[in-house]
């Protein structure tokens, strides 16, 4: 659709005050991503690629300046704001109110009024009488590196009729002088009169009947670039932007968008407890907030097809801005789903201003050194650990009570909170997602924050000492001031090694952050952590739901909200966890160990006590490979295979390689590989595997039972490599219970018997040109053991992330000495 015809050309040749959005140039509106881009050019290019943008017209920065000048407001503004300090909030608010009142009482010049009403009349001709519009403001000092000013100026939605349009435009002009805006400019040392405002009048997308949200083309907490994060909720987008609701969250592997059928690597159902819709007609705030229905809260706002469409659009927009700016330009984009037409639209786009400016050559790690009582959990913002006294504040009217260094605890924040947010040690809110106001401003200020931690305001009291940990994507608030370490490393100084240094990754939430460590991939990703944290229910309880007691069924129902198929819930959430790790390290190899829960550990999952036996020694019992082909568990294992197939084939993350744990015999190995076929996975070494196409996968086996080492040659006849599990191999070689406090002093990887078996395994793998690695803390805890492994020619050492740097340096020294000896 075309926008209304321009009205300016007839009256103003030198000054562009009201123009079509498609004609907006570099100097007309500043929310365009940089000095070399223009809004009009962007709209035209995006439209040519099928991206819908609701069009309309722009009141340019020239229009704003002419209003200020012709109304004679400049002297009053200068006098009122002279010497005003952002520290004295009372004086600041009074001065700003004076300026806004003066603007609201001033008339828009008749010539400018005429231009605005003529442009609006053109929209009415094109669409309908009293076409409803969104009125969005954009300032010249907005969306700059280090100065995003998220949500700093007013937006008016659902405005109808020329009179209300004129009122909303004037209110937008006045929003340049809210206390939050003036305080922000003072802090950033911006001249109030060097700042200008433009106002966009866009055809309203009926998101009140559909959905809306925000997406980023970068991970907002770690700076990981190969992901697109989408937040969404029902109704108008202000609820997401201002953090009034906990939205749905979707993740897309950006680098697989054009190489896989469905590279959605994460879906998390948000509470979406309320939504903003149209209210009474008339005025400049014709909206209201209502409760979301239980049915809507229990389903996702977007389909997979819509998620992927938004992902493709986000990538196109990022490429457009990157080309125009001549530098990588991750984007912050607002989108809307029209509930009448079911069409998606891009509402606005701006550069991400925090992560893109960070120095990736240095790595700062925060490591918690003790356990504590968890008071609340939510979405992490930042990547720190902070301690401080809590200050619970219920209203913006009481925000002056916050003392420097306290942790601000509140229901949510909006731009009015900005003057005091910088005083906080950290911020925790009941509501909001990772794209809410509290999250965006906290990132810019360098603060840690946890959002969507409901009901934190009822669990924590003012004066209580707490620890805020945002080192994973799930933020945690602990009771008390816990001890932690801070480690800073210059990545450029880390030496290269012949031996591949890989990582053990337990939780997917840390994968994006850990990918910045020097590494050669992941040597051990444990499914157990994903199943416990992201699935939370025994697979057989999902498969045999009808056999459960009603009380247990209700608990399962609560966990599986958003999924009609309970098996799909298990497959999808396990796949999402695996995929997040695989995407973080792509294309490097990520070895994923199938579940290795013991029966007592499986029993701790919801419904587990119904299906699990009681064993005297679960460590040596029904675990690993012995479960996978057993008729009592086989159908559950097939869900794991389906999840792995989804990651490798549907999501296109073929760097994820499955690994079989605790495989006692060759025959057991063959039975597992045959079972995997029914789950869509065809091992490389199965007969006729080369006829299976994309589903063919290499399969690694854990070497943790002495029989694996003794029969290494035979095991390699059916598997593509071996990963030495030094913990279990040590205990079984020496006849130990490693959990025993009495004999565990004997457990040592340096024992000659253990080393002899490991040496044999390495030699056999190298002879057969098969992968051989080790996953365990032995190399980092025992320098002599690391030296032994390097000398034997181990291909890979997989370590816990906090050991990667020190072990890499140690291995480099060992290799250097070997080379020079």
CB 811 within 8 A of CB 782: no
DSSP 319-348: HHHHHHHTS---EEEEEEE-TTT--EEEEE
DSSP 119-155: HHHHHHHHS-TT--EEEEEEETTSSBTTB--TT-S-E
For the chain, how many residues are written?
821
CB 705 within 8 A of CB 729: yes
List Cα–Cα distances, 572 to 174, 221, 257, 547, 639, in angstroms.
Answer: 48, 24, 18, 23, 9
Which two tokens mark 421? 């947010």
Which two tokens mark 520? 């050669």
Which two tokens mark 531? 């199943």
Q: What are phi and psi of 251, to 5 degrees?
A: -120, 140
User: Any idea which residue has 């997917």 for tokens?
Assistant: 508
Helix (H, G, I), strand (E, B) or coil at 370: coil
Distance CA 521, CA 796 (A): 10
What stretches of 654-782 show up as alpha helix (H) in DSSP?
666-678, 706-710, 712-715, 726-734, 752-767, 778-781
CB 669 within 8 A of CB 660: yes
Which residue, among 738, 734, 728, 795, has the nearest Cα to 764 in the 3D structure? 795
List Cα–Cα distances, 10 to 21, 57, 111, 117, 119, in angstroms.
Answer: 17, 16, 12, 15, 13
Active site residues: 437, 775
Which two tokens mark 287? 């909206």
Neighbouring residues of 741: CB distance < 8 A, sequence distance ≥ 6:
none
CB 400 within 8 A of CB 421: no
The C-alpha angle with vertex 311 and arms to 308 and 317, in degrees rounded to 5, equals: 145
Neighbouring residues of 254: CB distance < 8 A, sequence distance ≥ 6:
217, 225, 226, 227, 228, 311, 315
Which residue, among 519, 531, 540, 710, has the nearest Cα to 608 in the 3D structure? 540
* H helix and E strand count, the chain: 30, 32
Look at the alpha carbons of 102, 107, 112, 115 in this order and tell me if their dihedral is positive or negative.
positive
Burial of 346 (0-12, 13-18, 19+ CB in 10 A): buried
User: Any idea which residue has 């801070």 for tokens?
Assistant: 486
User: Any idea which residue has 């786009």 for tokens?
Assistant: 349
* Beta-bridge partner residues of 407: 390, 426
List Cα–Cα distances, 492 to 316, 690, 774, in angstroms.
Answer: 32, 42, 26
The C-alpha angle with vertex 409 and arms to 408 and 410, in degrees rounded to 5, equals: 115
């Amino acid at each position: 659709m075309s926008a209304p015809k321009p009205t300016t050309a007839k009256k103003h040749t030198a000054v562009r005050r009201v123009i079509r959005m498609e004609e907006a140039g570099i100097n007309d509106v500043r929310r365009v991503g940089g000095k070399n881009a223009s809004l009009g050019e962007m709209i035209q290019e995006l439209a040519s690629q099928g991206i819908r943008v609701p069009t309309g017209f722009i009141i340019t920065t020239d229009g704003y300046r002419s209003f200020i000048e012709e109304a004679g407001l400049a002297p009053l503004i200068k006098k009122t704001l002279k010497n005003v300090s952002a520290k004295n909030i009372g004086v600041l608010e009074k001065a700003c109110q004076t300026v806004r009142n003066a603007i609201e009482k001033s008339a828009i010049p008749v010539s400018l009024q005429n231009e605005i009403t003529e442009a609006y009349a053109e929209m009415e001709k094109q669409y309908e009488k009293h076409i409803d519009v969104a009125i969005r403001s954009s300032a010249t000092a907005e969306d700059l590196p280090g100065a995003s000013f998220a949500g700093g100026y007013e937006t008016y939605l659902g405005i109808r009729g020329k009179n209300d349009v004129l009122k909303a435009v004037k209110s937008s002009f006045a929003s340049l002088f809210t206390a939050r805006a003036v305080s922000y400019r003072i802090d950033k040392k911006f001249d109030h009169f060097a700042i200008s405002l433009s106002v966009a009048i866009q055809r309203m997308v009926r998101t009140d009947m559909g959905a809306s949200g925000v997406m980023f083309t970068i991970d907002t907490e770690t700076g990981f670039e190969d992901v697109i994060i989408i937040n969404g909720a029902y109704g108008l987008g202000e609820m997401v932007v201002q953090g009034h609701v906990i939205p749905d969250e979707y993740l897309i592997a950006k680098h697989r968008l054009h190489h896989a059928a469905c590279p959605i690597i994460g879906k998390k159902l948000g509470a979406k407890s309320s939504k903003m819709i149209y209210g009474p007609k008339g005025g400049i705030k014709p909206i209201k907030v209502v409760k979301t229905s239980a049915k809507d809260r229990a389903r996702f706002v977007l389909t997979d097809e819509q998620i992927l469409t938004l992902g493709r659009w986000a990538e196109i927009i990022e490429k457009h801005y990157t080309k125009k700016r001549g530098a990588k330009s991750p984007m912050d984009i607002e989108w809307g789903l029209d509930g009448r037409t079911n069409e998606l639209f891009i509402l606005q786009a701006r550069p991400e201003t925090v992560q893109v400016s960070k120095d990736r050559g240095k790595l700062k790690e925060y490591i918690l050194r003790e356990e504590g009582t968890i008071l609340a959990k939510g979405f992490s913002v930042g990547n720190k650990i902070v301690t401080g006294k809590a200050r619970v504040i219920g209203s913006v009217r009481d925000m002056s009570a916050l003392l420097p260094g306290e942790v601000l605890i509140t229901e949510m924040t909006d731009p009015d909170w900005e003057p005091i947010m910088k005083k906080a040690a950290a911020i925790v809110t009941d509501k909001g997602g990772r794209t809410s106001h509290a999250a965006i401003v906290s990132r810019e200020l360098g603060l840690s924050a946890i959002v969507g931690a409901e009901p934190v305001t009822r669990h924590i009291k003012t004066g209580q000492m707490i620890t805020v940990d945002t080192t994973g994507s799930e933020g945690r608030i602990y009771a008390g001031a816990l001890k932690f370490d801070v480690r800073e490393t210059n990545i450029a100084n880390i030496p290269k090694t012949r031996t591949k240094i890989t990582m053990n990754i337990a939780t997917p939430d840390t994968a994006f952050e850990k990918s910045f460590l020097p590494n050669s991939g992941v040597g051990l990703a444990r499914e157990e952590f994903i199943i416990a944290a992201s699935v939370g229910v025994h697979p057989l309880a999902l498969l045999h739901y009808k056999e459960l007691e009603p009380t247990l069924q209700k608990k399962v129902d609560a966990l599986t909200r958003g999924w009609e198929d309970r098996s799909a819930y298990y497959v999808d959430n396990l796949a999402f966890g695996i995929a997040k790790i695989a995407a973080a390290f792509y294309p490097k190899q990520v070895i994923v160990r199938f579940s290795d829960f013991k029966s007592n550990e499986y029993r701790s999952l919801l419904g587990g006590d119904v299906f699990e036996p009681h064993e005297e020694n679960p460590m040596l019992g029904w675990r690993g490979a012995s479960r996978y082909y057993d008729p009592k568990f086989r159908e559950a294992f097939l869900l794991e295979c389906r999840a792995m197939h989804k990651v490798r084939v549907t999501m296109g993350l073929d760097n994820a390689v499955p690994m079989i744990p605790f495989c006692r015999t060759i025959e057991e190995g063959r039975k597992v590989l045959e079972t995997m076929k029914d789950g869509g996975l065809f091992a490389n070494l199965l007969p006729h595997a080369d006829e299976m196409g994309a589903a063919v996968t290499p399969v690694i086996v854990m070497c943790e039972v002495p029989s694996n080492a003794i029969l290494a040659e035979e095991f390699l006849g059916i598997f593509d490599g071996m990963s030495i599990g030094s913990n279990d191999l040590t205990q079984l070689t020496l006849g130990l219970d490693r959990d025993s406090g009495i004999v565990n002093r004997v457990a040592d990887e340096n024992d000659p018997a253990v080393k002899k078996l490991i040496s044999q395994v390495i030699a056999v793998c190298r002879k057969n040109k098969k992968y051989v690695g080790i996953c365990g803390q032995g190399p980092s805890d025992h320098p002599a053991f690391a030296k032994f492994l390097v000398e034997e020619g181990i291909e890979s050492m997989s370590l816990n992330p906090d050991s990667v740097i020190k072990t890499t340096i140690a291995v480099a020294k060992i290799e250097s000495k070997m080379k020079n000896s």
